[in-house]
Amino acid sequence: MSTSTDTIQQLTTRLPELDWITEPLRLARLSQDFAWFSPVLKQALAGKRGEIAVRPRTEDEIRQVVAICAEHAIPITVRGTGTGNYGQCVPLHGGVILDMSAYNAFGWVRAGVGRAQAGIRLSEFDAHAKPLGHELRWLPSTFRSATLGGLFGGGFGGVGSINHGPLAAPGNVLGVRAMSVEPNPQVVELRGAEAMLMHHTYGTNGIVLELEVALTPTVDWTECIVVFEHFDAALNFASRMATAPGLEKKEVCFLGAPIPDHFTALAEHLPTGCHAVMVLVAPHSEDGLHALAAQHGGTVSYRKTADEVAASNKTLIEYTWNHTTLAALKTDKNLTYIQSGFDPSRHLAQVRALEAELAGEVMMHLEFLRTKEGAHNCSGLQLVRYTTEARLNEIMQIYRNHGVQINNPHVYIVEDGKQNNLDPEVVRIKERFDPQGLLNPGKLRSWGERESRATSSVTSASQPASA
């Protein structure tokens, strides 16, 4: 699928007032995300880019672009600020990059619920919400630049998921205002479970305009690092801290050696070869944290109050989740990562067994959280010393052999990554909101298979019957 130069020219001719981007370097940047975390995706997506980009500021501008694209069958790839890791916003078939970052107005906070346009940065959302006594329930480590719509379309959760689970947990995302891709685009409000059919689908089945999300009361979180000499002691502390019902926290991140050695900016707080646990804890729970650390032989090597974090503009959040991988890559370009989901009933045993089997090649990074069903668990973003794609696949299979789910971050097809078993209703929503299949084509296998079946049926019906 490609678009002629004349057709692309029609966009700028008919909509000259819009913010169009054609400069090659800017267009190349807007056609990328952090897929380079994966050496596999870096190669697979090399050279993929849109033919033109546009940065609409209003719903009407979005509608105008979408209408012309639908009229001329021009592919559309929706993006926020490009902080995803799986090539979500890398166009496979050219077309228009619909950059939503200027469609970013904050809406309101009412009774523990907030609403905003999809392009708002998560840090900006919280800046509006916190003076009103609330904050987002989850923050990815990219919160300074990541958008609300981007998190919904290609993200998982983040800091705060230890209390509220991932975005997919019922009650976190309450409503979505979405636009269809048609010559006469329709705007529809989806609520509850129906809204979640657009979650983590890489913008393939509808253009999300606004999101309504549940919030949590604001807390002035204290940030701490607890260091340990022994792997098991650190793991046991992290698990106990995560599940302690009376200790209020927003983040518990376990970093097995030698991961902390890569954090050069924190070197004075991280003894060489140590195992570390990063915690965001409520001030009234600090005494409990110190007592628990002492029980497990840990030392609190770093502590900053919320005021100190704000004054320094530096936060431990940016060493957790996928920023762990980013920080490590700054010192060792031969690293990559995997994503894993453990069995809540035996996650610590699985972690220990895999550490014993793969230590030295795979470095254990765990984020403690609640599953979308509510169980205490941990999710892994393990660092891997990359050698070959074949060995990377072997490592992921070893994890599966131990009963651990792999959410493969080295693929760009929706069904091959986190959504291992795609709900057929996701395709039904695409039929409703993208009947021509113009949104981020090539990323949703189930739609391609549907189109192939439809084409085969038409071809078969047109063949003359045998004599």
Query: Tens digit of pLDDT for each residue in 43-91?
Result: 999 999 999 999 999 999 999 999 999 999 999 999 999 999 999 999 9
- The dihedral through the CA atoms of 74, 80, 82, 88 has a sign that is negative
What three-state secondary structure class fits 181? coil
Asked whether 77 and 89 are in contact (CB, 8 A), the reply is: yes
Give the Cα separation of 467 and 462 in Å (integer). Answer: 15
Mean pLDDT of the chain: 95
Sheet holding 52-54, edge to edge: 20-21, 52-54, 96-99, 76-79
**Maximum pairwise Cα distance, the chain:** 87
Kindly state the average pLDDT of the residues 125-154: 97
Query: Tens digit of pLDDT for each residue in 319-363?
Result: 999 999 999 999 999 999 999 999 999 999 999 999 999 999 999
pTM, two decimals, is: 0.94
What three-state secondary structure class fits 227? strand
Asked whether 175 and 378 are in contact (CB, 8 A), the reply is: no
For 228-257, give the DSSP string.
Answer: ESSHHHHHHHHHHHHH-TTS-EEEEEEE-T
- For residue 2, the model assigns a pLDDT of 58
The amino acid at 181? V
Give the Cα separation of 2 and 220 in Å (integer). Answer: 51
Strand pairing report for 76-79 and 96-99 = parallel
**Helices of type H across 267-321:** 286-295, 306-312
**pLDDT band with cut points at 50, 70 and 90 for residue 458:** very low
**HEC-encoded secondary structure of 20-53:** EECCHHHHHHHCCCHHHHCHHHHHHCCCCCCCEE
**For the chain, give me the number of helices (H) and strands (E)?**
16, 21
